[in-house]
Chain A
Amino acid sequence: MLDRKVDEDRSREGFAAAGEPLMRIRGIAKAFPGVRALAGVNLDVFAGEVHALCGENGAGKSTLMKILAGGIRPDAGEILHSGAAYEPKNPRDARNGGVVLIHQEMSLAPDLSVAENIFLGSLPCKWNGMIDRRKLNDDAERALKACGYDIDPAARVGDLPIARQQMVEIARAAAFPCSVVIFDEPTATLTEAEAESLFRTIERLRKNNVAIIYISHKMKEIFRLSDRISVLRDGETQATLRTADADEAQVMSLMIGRTLDRRQASTWKFAGNEVLTVSGLSSPGAFEDVGFSISEGEILGLYGLVGAGRSELAEAIFGLRPASGTLLWRGRPVTVRHPRDAVALGIGLVPEDRKKQGLVLGAGGRENVILANLARLSAWGLLRRTRAAALYSEFTERLRLRSPSPTTAVVTLSGGNQQKVVLAKWLATDPRLLILDEPTRGIDVGAKDEVYKIIRELAANGMAVLLISSEMPEVLGLSDRIVTMHHGRLTGEFKGGEVGEEDLIRAVMSTDHNRPAKPPAAA
């Protein structure tokens, strides 16, 4: 099906020179408060090609896709589609222009039928204003068949497994004339067989001369599917390669780009006592049989791709998710059933999504910092304001938090400063183990370095740090030891100073053939 020879016969050789690109993207820039997401992206996409888009988290891929799909508007730059200026004001504009984004998270109405979802926004009517259900279901059936899917058009979408919901979305894209289809990490939630079926669909779209932009972290898929690869880093296009001429290492190094701030592996630290030992920890549907230990003053990196079960593991340790297995806290078996238990032991969690899980957005920095420390700051059930203020100023100084005032709503702060507020909140509880889940997601490069510095200081002062990250330079640059996670299992353990990117990549990517059954998507 994906025979390289056939592809070459078709047009693989011709892409660079095959006349005008279908879509020409020039100098697209976009800044959000506190973060420069895109700094000048150039991209040419030809009809009938699968154009893979790679980049680390935060490289700007999602922002670019949202711009193409009409979700947000760029600050600068221009896009030409079939030679005409393409400036979609909203998703409808984009769709009318033939550009469809298959979202990472589903964009379907769960309580409507498959057919209704496919033709949402243009339901066929009879003369009396009623929906023409027969035509609707027939058309939907045809659209599904055209993609090779066997789904009942009358089924309720919310009753379908995630993979089939995605098929509905694809069928919806294909039911209308479209010239550019963007897939945003489409296989993140799919099993292998489901992914195969998706690849066949993509192949079919390509044969119909549709331009496909394919975003993925998975090198295997990229090299299998794509005709060309563009790499995005720090909001800029680094290079566009022909897949036939490229290799994984080349793409990887373009993605990572900057030279890593490798810390000299310090050896004295491992004398520290073990703070937490985890063994046989399982949580059905998320991870299985996970075991590791972490010592005072140690930074343990946990590297894995999105969906590997890393955040779920953090949640289980913190008492947010039921799990079986043993936790030894400073050598003593403990049970953590509730975050309260974890906080009492001395565990802090800086969650992945600070806006949803870590901050009271409308409240000021001070309110947020004292939130996890209310008991300690109160006497007779009343908050001691002076103590709270002292605590806040102590940590703002330590973390170099820049906020106009202690009561400025954190929602107005930059990503980096927001993250510092979350850090301050947990540091004020004086934890012995701090779990950081993607601590630098969505924050500026400069702020990143500051967060790194803080993390190192904490470890140097004896705190155990579990650093969960999908950014390789971050894990490599900070960790004393690294464990890798893939599909809910630990797949390797490495010493910080001795491991390279390739080892990590291999540990989290190349075990595809013996992966366990995909956990239930509903979990």
Chain B
Amino acid sequence: MSLATDRLQPSATSFDGLKTFIRSNSVWLLALALAVFFSLQSAFFLTPFNISNVLTQCVFVGLLAIGMTPVVISGNIDLSVGAVVGLTACIVVALQPYGLGVAVLAALAAGVLVGLVNGLIVEKMGISSFIVTLAMMSGIRGLTFLAIGDISLSSTDDRLNAFAMLAIGPISIVVVLFAGLAAVVGFVLRFTPHGRNTFAIGGNRSAAVDAGIAVSRHVIANFALCGLMAAICGIAMAANLGAAAPSFGRDYELLAITAVVLGGTRLQGGKGGVTGTLGAVLALAILRNGLNLLRVSPFYIPVIVGVVLIIALVLDRQVNGQAMRHGE
């Protein structure tokens, strides 16, 4: 883009549109490439059983990553989601004697509450979300262990596990639920004032304030949404396994952030979206699953994921360098 000419520039052509599309969805191309690669390497990869397996692997990190995306777009981060998974999984199992509905609602409420507290401290005290949610992560994990002990709880209400076992064809109900939630969050980000304000806040906070946007409210709402998604993840995990333990969801916050960043959401905020996050979640799940199928040692897998993340971000910087610098 140059100002060398005095004449006004023509607006973007459709070719630019295509380029933008490829650029902003490059992680889907990565997922596709990985899928092609592994299907050539392993005959088992494209079987319905394995596909449904990959999709189920997507769900847990995916739920967290989808909830994390709006938080990151608004310029924050939430490190407490993994701990919330442990907490809510334990709540939904431990409170079953009071009825399954009560247990589920209590778990959801706990997730939202943690998110609200995160958001309130970040906005009202002006403390960086990194610190606030780091402290929250450590506090919640500790409290969960204190309350439950280092044991695992078995689910006593069969309906919970039975729900997780439901499937539509080969696709688990949990996957369907995840896809639905992702669509809702994506929709909110793209088509509602709350979503667009979220982008404005992350892109240029002072501009958002100047425009009279109630910045705090939007930021807190995003944290609450993130907590809610973490709670859903915790419930789904407990349902899937028919059990819960305080250690559930450990390190998941890092996997979720990996997916968000790989999906093209800018860690400084202002840019990103659910589509990219979904693609990244899928790409990472395919990578894990494929490497397992190829019998790569499980200890190599995190190394490979790390390398892929760095390469992806370096490439992104090369391609979108200008845009990135613009935002910093």
Contact = CB atoms under 8 A, between A and B. Distances in A.
Contacts of B7: 193
Contacts of B192: 125, 129-131
Nearest to A522: B1
A159 B204 contact: no
Contact of A110 (B3, B9, B203): B203
Contact of B208 (A90, A109, A521): A109
Contact of B3 (A92, A150, A159, A518): A518
Contact of B1 (A129, A150, A159, A519): A159
A164 B1 CA distance: 12
A369 to B, nearest CB: 29
A109 B203 contact: yes
Interface in A119-169: 120-123, 125, 129-131, 133, 150-152, 155, 158-164
Interface in B201-218: 203-204, 206-213
A110 B326 contact: yes
A91 interface: yes
A518 B4 CA distance: 6
Interface in A259-281: none
A123 B207 contact: no
A90 B9 contact: no
A150 B8 CA distance: 8
A520 B3 contact: yes
A191 interface: yes
Given A109-B200, A125-B193, A155-B11, A191 B6 contact: yes
Contacts of B139: none
Given A91-B210, A159-B12, A521 B3 contact: yes
Contact of B209 (A90, A130, A194): A90
A409 to B, nearest CB: 19
B228 to A, nearest CB: 18
A348 B49 CA distance: 67
Nearest to B272: A111
B323 A121 contact: no
B3 A95 contact: no
Contact of B199 (A112, A129, A152, A155): A112
Given A111-B271, A112-B199, A112-B203, A120 B213 contact: yes
B322 A522 contact: yes
Interface in A325-342: none
Interface residues of A, number: 43
A152 B208 CA distance: 22
Contacts of B208: 109, 120-121
Given A109-B204, A121-B211, A521-B3, A131 B193 contact: yes
**Chain B interface residue number, banded:** 20 to 34
Interface in B273-323: 322-323
Interface string A481-516: 000000000000000000000000000000000000
B249 interface: no
A192 interface: yes
A193 B8 CA distance: 10
Contacts of B9: 161, 164
Interface string B252-281: 000000000000000000110000000000
B72 to A, nearest CB: 13
A316 interface: no
A192 B2 CA distance: 15
A117 B197 CA distance: 10
B196 interface: yes
A517 interface: yes
B327 interface: yes
Contacts of A162: 3
A163 B1 CA distance: 12
B21 interface: no
A112 B1 contact: no
A111 B8 contact: no
Interface in B89-143: none
A108 interface: yes
A110 B204 contact: yes
Given A518-B3, A521-B3, A108 B207 contact: yes
A502 B188 CA distance: 59
A111 B199 contact: yes
Nearest to A517: B4
Interface in A189-206: 191-194
A131 B327 contact: no
Nearest to A521: B3
Contact of A91 (B8, B200, B212, B322): B212
Contacts of A123: 193, 196-197
B262 to A, nearest CB: 18
B209 A112 contact: no
A105 to B, nearest CB: 10
A520 B196 contact: no
B207 A92 contact: no
A102 to B, nearest CB: 11
B200 A158 contact: no
A155 B4 contact: no
Nearest to B4: A517
A150 B9 CA distance: 10
A49 interface: no
Nearest to A158: B326
B327 to A, nearest CB: 6
Nearest to B269: A111
B111 to A, nearest CB: 23
Nearest to A119: B211
A117 B204 CA distance: 11
Contact of A92 (B193, B200, B204, B212): B212
B203 A520 contact: no
A163 B203 contact: no
A151 B8 CA distance: 9
A193 B6 contact: yes
A495 to B, nearest CB: 36
A520 B204 contact: no
Nearest to B206: A107
B191 interface: yes
Interface string A77-111: 00000000000001110011000000000011111
A122 B11 CA distance: 25
B6 A120 contact: no
A432 to B, nearest CB: 34
Given A112-B199, A120-B211, A191-B6, A107 B191 contact: no
A480 interface: no
Nearest to A133: B191
A107 B3 contact: no
Q: Which 5 A-B pairs have the closest CB atoms?
A: A121-B211, A193-B6, A92-B212, A109-B203, A120-B211
24 contacts: A90-B209, A91-B212, A108-B204, A108-B207, A110-B204, A111-B270, A111-B327, A116-B196, A120-B197, A120-B213, A121-B211, A125-B192, A129-B193, A152-B11, A158-B326, A161-B1, A161-B9, A163-B3, A164-B8, A191-B3, A194-B3, A518-B3, A519-B3, A519-B4
Given A91-B212, A112-B196, A121-B213, 15 more contacts: A91-B211, A95-B212, A107-B206, A110-B326, A112-B199, A112-B200, A120-B197, A123-B197, A129-B192, A133-B191, A159-B1, A161-B1, A519-B3, A521-B1, A522-B2
